[in-house]
Amino acid sequence: MSASLREKVEVLLQAFEGEKVSCSFEEFKEKLSFDSSLKNEDRFKAVVEAVCKYSISCDENGEENGKLNDEGSKEMSLIADMIISHLNHGYQSSPFLDFAEEQMIHKILGYVGYGKGASGVFLPGGSYCTLISMICARYHKYPGVKETGLDHTIQVIAPESACKSTDEGAIMMGIGTNNVIKVNFDMITPRELVDIIEKNNIFMIISTFDISEDGTVETIDKFSKIMRKYNIWHHIDACQGGTALFSDKYRYLTDTFQDAHSITIDFHTCLSLNQQCSLLLVKDGEQLTSCSSITRPFQTGGELTASSCGSVINWTTWMLTPLPCLSTLLDLTRSFLMPQIKANNNRNTFFL
């Protein structure tokens, strides 16, 4: 690290410790106006101090958030970001980081119960994971779609409480939000689901893994035979509850994960990690590779896939934070949340 970079890092660290001030959008114009005659060093310091001073971080968002914020995982996440940014690795240029990521994914696949051939990829956000899973599901149902496209509409079934990422994926894939069929999985019967499937071109069913206030898990296990019969891809959106995998106490709640075709987990949502750290796991890794792979005339290092061009992902945190520590953090977090939700008589689901 150069002396110049060390000096800038020191300025940044001091700015982190400085006073935090909130102000209106109208005031930003004045607060973020800097003298054009300032030297580079002085201008750098002024900009960094202003950004840190007027940016209210999650640490200032109330006492309850502070109780749930694990300082250790936050620090490791910040260090991981610094390592990745300093080394400036991108795409497929880092053999060591590629290897480390592969090992972390392999470890997590073991927790899910996926067997040989399973794969995964860290992506910038749960919405991107949902999109890639939808692309995998479409390719699974219609293998020739990459070359010929589709000449008919297709539909995806999702819960009424589904994340907006399902609609976003439908828009980006050209399916259209009118072809996202929302159902109440608790109320719908197997016969009713079959009727929907037979009247449409269903290629995917998305379910949400959440834990209710009484400790029950919302699953769609009763439809597993139907999905197999009609060759329908099942994706579990476990962005908020999926980290139960790493809890010795609550891992049993994820026993059905191994039956799904794909799963999404958002670690930045649940573990106080820096944005973004989302993981897409796919039971048949070949589907993940083949669904969007292309070969360019000038390319010599293998095929390029749509999922290989995401932002830098903060997965390095996993090498710095032992899994037993994550298990303890998750158990403590849920122990705090449960009384809060019951006290407020809140029927909404929550993350572990």
In this predicted structure, the answer to whether residue 278 has a pLDDT above a threshold of 70 is yes
Question: Could you report the per-residue pLDDT of 76-133, keeping only the tens digit for each?
Answer: 777 777 777 777 655 555 677 777 788 889 999 999 999 999 999 888 888 899 999 9
The lowest-confidence range among 35-39, 56-60, 78-82, 177-181 is: 56-60
Which comes out higher in pLDDT, residue 32 or 152? 152
* DSSP string computed for 139-199: HHH-TTHHHH--SS--EEEEETT--THHHHHHHHTT--GGGEEEE-TTT--HHHHHHHHHH
Residue 327: the pLDDT is 55
Q: Do residues 133 and 262 touch, judged by C-beta distance below 8 A?
A: yes
pLDDT level of residue 156 (50, 70, 90 thresholds): very high
β-pair partners for 123: 278
Question: Between the ranges 1-5, 147-151, 232-236, 275-279, where is the mean pLDDT highest?
Answer: 232-236
Question: Could you report the per-residue pLDDT of 242-267, keeping only the tens digit for each?
Answer: 888 888 888 888 888 999 999 998 87
Please compute the mean of the pLDDT values over residues 208-231 and round it to a whole number. Answer: 75
Q: Considering only CA atoms, which of 267, 248, 251 is closest in space to residue 321?
A: 267
Q: Mean pLDDT of all residues in the chain?
A: 77
Write out the two tokens for 27.
Answer: 């005031």
